[in-house]
Each structure stands twice: as structure tokens, then as C-alpha cells.
Amino acid sequence: MKPVLYLSVAALLLSGSLLAQTPSSTNLGRNPFPQIGKDGRVTFRVNAPDATSLTVNLGKDYPMTKDDKGVWTATTDPQVEGFHYYSLKAGGLSFNDPATHSYFGMGRWASAVEVPGAPDADFYTPKQGVPQGAVRAVRYYSAVCGEWRQMLVYTPAGYEQNTSKRYPVLYLQHGGGEDETGWIYQGFADVILDNLVAEGKAEPMIIVMVSGVANKADGTGDGFEAMVTEEVIPFVDARFRTLADRDHRAVAGLSWGAKQAYDLGLGYPDLFSWVGGFSGIIVIGEFRSRPAGYEDPEKFAAAYNGIFKSAPQFNANYHLLFIANGEAEGSHLKGMSEILTERGIDNVFYQSPRTAHEWLTWRRCLYQFAQRLFK
Amino acid sequence: MKPVLYLSVAALLLSGSLLAQTPSSTNLGRNPFPQIGKDGRVTFRVNAPDATSLTVNLGKDYPMTKDDKGVWTATTDPQVEGFHYYSLKAGGLSFNDPATHSYFGMGRWASAVEVPGAPDADFYTPKQGVPQGAVRAVRYYSAVCGEWRQMLVYTPAGYEQNTSKRYPVLYLQHGGGEDETGWIYQGFADVILDNLVAEGKAEPMIIVMVSGVANKADGTGDGFEAMVTEEVIPFVDARFRTLADRDHRAVAGLSWGAKQAYDLGLGYPDLFSWVGGFSGIIVIGEFRSRPAGYEDPEKFAAAYNGIFKSAPQFNANYHLLFIANGEAEGSHLKGMSEILTERGIDNVFYQSPRTAHEWLTWRRCLYQFAQRLFK
């Protein structure tokens, strides 16, 4: 197929035509597969004449079948719109599909498909004419971890030009098995903020993304909190034109990163006053205990050095406590939000329609959260 | 092994101890394998109890053997120091090893090992106390290609602070099968420049990296030159504080990107006056013709609209023509440099000791080239 035809087809598909299948937006270059059908079924195609068996795993295993030219195909059950990691499996190994971009997830560089159909996709779509921020990759040395690490830092449009202006900062954490690149390449955080700021819906802000995997160099365990509070925040405040106080500093995260965000946001009230957790609970007491720690009034009052002990004081002290997840993830976070509300703790709850524990949920969470920040 | 021990071992190995094997610096997290022996042999280890056959390809195939715990192992022939892509092969498919970071090469996200032992590794090693630049990922819309694309832009230390200062720009291209991320993640271009600038050996400069794969949206072929000259350069000059003239604009590239750099640098003398080609010839006439185009005086004089026709004029017009490769790549580029010199065309030739067509060669080429720029 000639590029010009291909692009026309893609344009038609994107505009919601009647054509049955569209290449995943995660495909490398102009690879035609994986493709997604209108019903959300994903079709994979792999050219491997010498392979004797091939399986694709997207949530579950789908054995692939080979045609007489050595091309293997499988089509999945319908998938909900959004971003889904997947693997190829052969010879007892799981690995990524060279047909797509790779994304750091599942603890390795992984393949993924984007199932289109989100009615609100506009908010995370780049647009011509929208002033753009920039994402910087910055190497930094962590003495806590004893190693060089990378942080990604989003600065909003105008940061380069308005050189006397200082900006509030959002620290934004990825989920388990992911790293500091997730919020940009899976989450489109930069596009979401560019669009929000251009529409006047969000304040221009700096976003800092670091890997949440941070083992102490001395072998004494997790160094994440020490690294962020003692190294990352001072580094960012020195390097970038930040508003370096708690009133202008937010923290949020998804899944495992939600726990980290609550630990930072509620555990360090001198540093943060805006806190968001996407698809993760406020862990109080033992993880996965029943009743959950937040359901137990005594544990709750003791948590995070008593941060919730006095609701009026918490409400006066914190600008925002934001709790969110995807509808398909269940109601436990809605329950948590309601318990907090019953106890007088102001909080905002948001649920992403239809979506599961994946990046479309978290893009929407960020979209909602960012609009409430620094106002 | 405890992290603290691991780090001590790594430190010893890096300092050239007698220990036999060291994990590749490309490994994800603290994965112990692949490991490199003192003799440059690489040992791979993959846990795959269910696999029936497994091969690793690093230059050639090495069948792996399975122990009674289902762990597969193979050790390669000695490899020259530097950065080498590799693949795992099973069931008729080639794929990357989840044990390492992935790098865009071979037209897909690929695994790689870094064989240590370069006596000059210091120049591409990050150092505490060296002021750092930053690498930005910037999305831009190319009308030529009809798509959103990403460029990486390195700005030197001080760029954020010295807000009235303008900087010269180097456009830097990757090789075939790679993309705009190669010069940072495989090439350490940012670290090399940070170190050079800190030592006063190179001028602070902006480096722009775009993907060289740029098909025109209208299906009429390669849009690379149009994209760079009509879109990328004006975009960069508008977005960043550049010195926007040919005296302060350089172009270089490696392998396929060397051809692109020569095409830009010699084909657009109004735009560039500093040109570098690493491991790539100046293609004049038919590619791979014998004699090579540059050996034929008539073709040579006609090339690039007669840019080489008058040696004195070329020498007066261009600040630098830099030609380089790795010693193991052979003598053809040295020959090309000598022919140019015989014809009176000033040029600088550099050869990286021992190394082949890989990233250690190109790191050294950049190190040499950057020191000669904008002076």
C-alpha cells in the first residue's frame, strides 16, 4: 500500500469511518499490524515462517495460527478502549513484538496496543497551534541510591521565554513495573498539560517524573522517600524556576505510585499540600488487611503521624486530596473516598468511565487532577 | 547478592580489578547477566525452563545450553570493547532480551551489551560536579511527512540561566535502523558535551537530533532534506536561543546518517559550514560504484552543485570537513580523506583505535568533532 493511501485510510479511520480495522497508534513506523476492529478486537500478525508455535498474550493467551506463507495470526476478544501491554510467547519465552514501539512496563520493555474509541481522546491528542512545553531527560546522581539516574522534567510552554516567571511543581509517579518514562510515552502527560494550559483550564506547571524503584546503596532497603525529599526536590528547585514551597508543590501517582504519592503527600506535610492517588489506596496498617486500614477509625487517626486526626486541621492544611480510578476496577476507592468524607476529610473522587487498571484511566485522572491544582 | 556487595564488586570491576566477569552496564536494574569477561567474551543467561531451544545472536549465532534448573547459557567469542546489539532467537523468531535496557536499533527496540575496557571511557562517563545540560523531547508536526514526530534537543549547562546568550547548533544524525534517541542512549552525546564543555575543550552548543526516516506524506519519496531545511531548522531557531546562521550551524551523522549529513552540509552551503561524517562515505554518483564517485575527478567536481570544483573556494567557505571511522572498519575513509587532500580540499581525518562499526567509534568521533566546532 502506498503511503499516501495508507495515510488517507488512517485519517478516515481516525475520523470514525465504517472501515473495520485500524492499525494501533503504537505501531512502529507504518506497520499495519496490530490492528484493532470496531468491536475492540485486536488482530496480531507476525511473519515467522520458521516458528513452530506462537502465542500472543493480552490479558490471556491467544494461540496464533500459521498460514501457508508462514504468517501467524490471532484475534483477541473485544478489549475496552485504552492502552494495553501484550507479549508474544514462543519456545517457553515471553518477549515483545518488534512491530510496535516499546514501553517500559511489566518490568521490561514491552509491546502495547492502543484500542481507540475513547470519546474524549481529544484531550490527550497533540494539536497544531497549541503552544508546547518540553520534556527534559536529566541525569542526576543519587547518593541515597549510589547511582546515576534519569528524571524527566516537563516544563510548560513559555518556560523558555518568561525567564523571570516561577512555576508550581507536580511530582508524578508511575506504576509497578514501569519507570519514569511511563507518564510521557504511555500517559501523554505533556500533551494533556499543553492542551489544558492552552484552553486556560490548568495553571502552567512543571512536572517531575522519577523512577519509583530506588534501593538504598547501603543495602538497607527502599530509598525512595529519602531520595525524593532529600535529593530530587532540592535538585529540581535549584535547577528549575520553581515556586519552592508546599503551597506550590503537588504529588500524585498511579497504582503502586499512588501509595508512594500518599506516603509523600501525607507523610511530608511540610513539603506537599496537593495530593492525588490514581488506582491506589491509602495504605494504613497492613496492606490488603480486612478491614482495610482506612476503614478502622483508630488506625486511621494514627496514620501518617496523625495527619487525619483532626479533619478541620487537615482541611485547612491541604488544598486537595484527590482519589480516582477506573470504573472497571471496582468500587473500593469510591468506598474509601466516602469513608474519608464521612469522617470530615475533604476529598475529590473521580471515576473514569468503563476503563480498567490501565493508562486511559490514568490519563483521565491526570486531566481531572491537573485542572484542580494550584488554584 | 546484597546491593551493597554488588555495588562494591561493580566498582572494583570498573577500576580494572582481577575479577573475571562484570555485568553489562546496559543491564536493567541490577540484573547480573549479560556479563562480560576480561577477555571480552560475553556470557548470556536466560531463565526459560519451558524453552526447547534458544540461541543468542551477537554478530553470529551462539546456541545456548540448558542446565537442570532450566537456565540457558552461552558465551561468545571475544568482542572488541564498545556497544553491541544482540538478539535472542527461539522458535524461528528474533527478539530482545528482557534483561537489558532496549535501544532503538536494527529497526526495532533491541537489546545490547557494552563491552568495557575502553581506556578513554572517562570522556563519556557522567561525573558529579560537572555542570549538566539537558535533553528535551519535543513533539513537532511535520507537514512534509504529514505526522507528529519527536526531536531530541540537547541544551548545554547554563542555557537555562544565561537567558540572553545564544548558542551555535549541531544537527546530529543516527545510523540506519536507529532513531533520534540513539545519540543519547547509545552515544551519550549529552555526557560527552557536558564533560568537554566543563573542561573548556568545546564551545557550549545546542544539539538537535531528529529521526532520519522521513517519508513524504504525498507518497513521493524521501522527505528528510525538505523536513530538516524547511521545518526543523526554522522550528529550532524559533524555539531555542540559537545563533541562526551558517557560521554557527553544523551537521554530522554516522553511517547512513553520514550520507545525510554530507547531503545537508554540502548540498545546502547557505545553511551549514561545519560538516562531519562518521563511518560513511561522501556518496557521489552511484552508491557502491567502483571507482567510488569521489575517486572520479569529473564526478567529484560536479557533485553537490560543484561544491568541490574550486578547492580554495571550498576551503574559504567551510570551517570544517571532518571524516572519521573505526580502525576495524578498514581504510576506505582514510583513502577518501587522502583523495580530498590531494585535490586541495581541507579536511580532518580521525580513526578510532580498534573499534568497528558501532557506538564506541561514534562516541569518539563526536568527542573529536565537537572539540573542533565553532572555534
Q: How far is CA B46 from CA A309, B24, B88, B328, in A?
A: 51, 15, 9, 31
Write out chain A residues lying below 8 Å of B141, CB-based: 126, 128
Task: Clarify whether residues A15 and A33 are in a common domain.
Answer: yes
Task: Clarify whether residues A82 and A108 are in a common domain.
Answer: yes
Q: Do A109 and B98 touch (CB under 8 A)?
A: yes
Task: Clarify whether residues B18 and B159 are in a common domain.
Answer: no
CA distance B199 to B191: 12
Write out chain B residues lying below 8 Å of A30, CB-based: 215
CA distance B370 to B276: 10
Q: Is residue A309 within 8 Å of residue A317, measured between CB atoms?
A: no
Q: Residue B291 above 90 pLDDT?
A: no
Q: Is residue B93 within 8 Å of residue B68, measured between CB atoms?
A: no
Q: How far is CA B57 from CA A261, B32, B77, B92, in A?
A: 42, 19, 11, 13
Beta partners for residue B163, in sequence order: none
Query: Mapped to the 3 state alphabet, what secondary structure does B260-280 carry?
Result: HHHHHHHHCCCCCCEEEEECC
Sign of the alpha-carbon dihedral angle for A327, A328, A331, A333: negative
Residue with cell 541525569: A139
Task: Clarify whether residues B289 and B178 are in a common domain.
Answer: yes
The whole-number average pLDDT for the span B299-321 is 94
Of B90, B117, B144, the residue at which a domain comes to its end is: B117
Contacts with B136 (C-beta within 8 Å, 6 or more apart), sequence order: A134, A135, A136, A137, B152, B153, B154, B155
Task: Clarify whether residues B244 and B356 are in a common domain.
Answer: yes
Q: Does A315 touch chain B (CB under 8 A)?
A: no
Supply the pLDDT for residue B288: 59
Supply the pLDDT for residue B30: 84
The whole-number average pLDDT for the span B22-38 is 93
CB atoms within 10 A of CB A341: 13
Does residue B375 fall inside a structural domain? no
Task: Clarify whether residues A319 and A215 are in a common domain.
Answer: yes
Q: Which chain B residue has the Cα nearest residue A148?
A: B126
Task: Clarify whether residues B148 and B91 are in a common domain.
Answer: no
Task: Clarify whether residues A26 and A54 are in a common domain.
Answer: yes
CA distance B192 to B182: 14
Write out chain B residues lying below 8 Å of A126, CB-based: 139, 141, 148
Q: Which of A183, A313, A339 is nearest to A261 (CA)?
A: A183
CB atoms within 10 A of CB A77: 12
Of B91, B117, B143, the residue at which a domain comes to its end is: B117
Q: Is residue A33 within 8 Å of residue A71, measured between CB atoms?
A: no
A85: cell is: 501491554
Q: Do A90 and B88 touch (CB under 8 A)?
A: no
Q: Is residue A334 within 8 Å of residue A351, measured between CB atoms?
A: yes
Residue count of chain B: 375
- In one letter, which amino acid is A207? I
Does residue A375 fall inside a structural domain? no
Write out chain A residues lying below 8 Å of B30, CB-based: 215
Q: Do A92 and B218 touch (CB under 8 A)?
A: no
Give B236-266 pLDDT, tens digit per residue.
Answer: 999 999 999 999 999 999 999 999 999 999 9
Crossing angle of helices A256-267 and A297-306, in 10° steps, is 70
Supply the pLDDT for residue B283: 80
Q: Does B349 touch chain A (CB under 8 A)?
A: no
Q: What's the gap in Å between the CA of B213 and the closest CA on chain A?
A: 9
Chain-centre distance for alpha carbon A187:
5
Q: Which of B316, B262, B330, B255 is nearest to B294 (CA)?
A: B262
CA distance A93 to B97: 10
Supply the pLDDT for residue B304: 93
What does the mean pLDDT of chain B come to?
A: 91
Does residue B175 fall inside a structural domain? yes
- In one letter, which amino acid is A91? G
Does residue A27 fall inside a structural domain? yes
Q: What's the gap in Å between the CA of A97 and the closest CA on chain B?
A: 8
- Side by side, the strands of the sheet bearing A71-75 are A21-23, A35-37, A42-47, A71-75, A65-66
Contacts with B282 (C-beta within 8 Å, 6 or more apart), sequence order: B262, B266, B293, B294, B303, B336
Of A60, A95, A117, the residue at which a domain comes to its end is: A117
Q: Which chain B residue has the Cα nearest residue A152?
A: B136
The whole-number average pLDDT for the span B32-44 is 95
> Would you state the torsion angle of the CA atoms of residues A289, A286, A274, A239, taken in this order, to the nearest 10 degrees?
-140
Among A52, A53, A64, A93, most B C-beta atoms within 10 A, so best to mutate, is: A93
Compare CB distances from B50 to A92, A96, A141 and report the shortest one's residue: A92
Does residue A318 fall inside a structural domain? yes
pTM comes to 0.87
Q: Which of B140, B8, B348, B35 is nearest to A126 (CA)?
A: B140
For chain B, the C-alpha Rg in angstroms (whole number) is: 22
Q: Which of A162, A45, A90, A120 is nearest to A364 (CA)?
A: A120
Most confident of B132-146, B155-169, B357-371: B357-371
Q: Does A77 touch chain B (CB under 8 A)?
A: no
Contacts with B6 (C-beta within 8 Å, 6 or more apart), sequence order: B30
Position B287 confidence tier, pLDDT thresholds 50, 70, 90: low
What is the CATH number for A93?
2.60.40.10
Q: Which chain B residue has the Cα nearest residue A194?
A: B139
Q: Does B2 touch chain A (CB under 8 A)?
A: yes
Segments in A199-243 forming alpha helices (H): 224-226, 233-239
Write out chain A residues lying below 8 Å of B51, CB-based: 91-93
Segments in chain A forming alpha helices (H): 3-14, 182-185, 189-198, 224-226, 233-239, 256-267, 297-306, 311-317, 332-342, 359-371
Does residue A82 fall inside a structural domain? yes
Residue A287, judged by CB atoms within 10 A of its CB (0-12, 13-18, 19+), counts as: exposed
Write out chain B residues lying below 8 Å of A2, CB-based: 219
Q: How many structural domains is chain A composed of?
A: 2
Supply the pLDDT for residue B4: 33
B145: cell is: 511527512
Does residue A139 fall inside a structural domain? yes
Supply the pLDDT for residue A287: 57
Chains A–B, number of C-beta pairs less than 8 Å apart:
142
Give A82-100 pLDDT, tens digit per residue.
Answer: 999 999 998 788 899 989 9
Task: Clarify whether residues A165 and A102 are in a common domain.
Answer: no
Supply the pLDDT for residue B347: 98
Task: Clarify whether residues B178 and B278 are in a common domain.
Answer: yes
Write out chain A's pLDDT in tens, 375 residues.
233 333 333 443 444 444 578 999 999 988 999 999 999 999 999 998 888 899 999 999 999 999 999 999 999 999 999 999 999 998 788 899 989 999 999 888 899 999 998 999 999 999 999 999 999 999 899 999 999 999 999 999 999 888 899 999 999 999 999 999 999 999 999 999 999 999 999 999 999 999 999 999 998 999 999 999 999 999 999 999 999 999 999 999 999 999 999 999 999 999 999 999 999 988 876 655 566 777 788 888 889 999 999 999 999 999 999 999 999 999 989 999 999 999 999 999 999 999 999 999 999 999 999 999 999
Q: Residue B299 above 90 pLDDT?
A: no
Phi and psi torsions of A203, nearest 5°: -70, 140
Does residue B186 fall inside a structural domain? yes
Sign of the alpha-carbon dihedral angle for B150, B151, B156, B161: negative
Q: Does A2 touch chain B (CB under 8 A)?
A: yes
Task: Clarify whether residues A60 and A150 are in a common domain.
Answer: no
Q: Concatenate the DSSP letters of all residues of B8-30 into one string.
A: HHHHHHHTT-S-SEEE-TTBSTT
Interfacial B residues in 98-117 facing A (CB < 8 Å): 98, 101-102, 107-109
Position B289 confidence tier, pLDDT thresholds 50, 70, 90: low
Range of the domain at A275: 122-370
Give A143-171 pLDDT, tens digit per residue.
Answer: 999 999 999 999 999 998 888 999 999 99
Among A139, A193, A242, most B C-beta atoms within 10 A, so best to mutate, is: A139
Interfacial A residues in 162-221 facing B (CB < 8 Å): 163, 184, 190-191, 213, 215-219
Q: Which chain A residue has the Cα nearest residue B239?
A: A160
Task: Clarify whether residues B278 and B293 are in a common domain.
Answer: yes
What is the CATH number for A359?
3.40.50.1820
Give B45-94 pLDDT, tens digit per residue.
Answer: 999 888 889 999 999 999 999 999 999 999 999 999 999 999 999 878 88
CA distance A152 to B272: 32
Beta partners for residue A89, in sequence order: A55, A94
Q: Does A160 touch chain B (CB under 8 A)?
A: yes
Q: Residue B13 above 60 pLDDT?
A: no
Q: Is residue B135 within 8 Å of residue B185, measured between CB atoms?
A: no
Q: Is residue A373 within 8 Å of residue A341, measured between CB atoms?
A: no
CA distance A279 to A260: 12
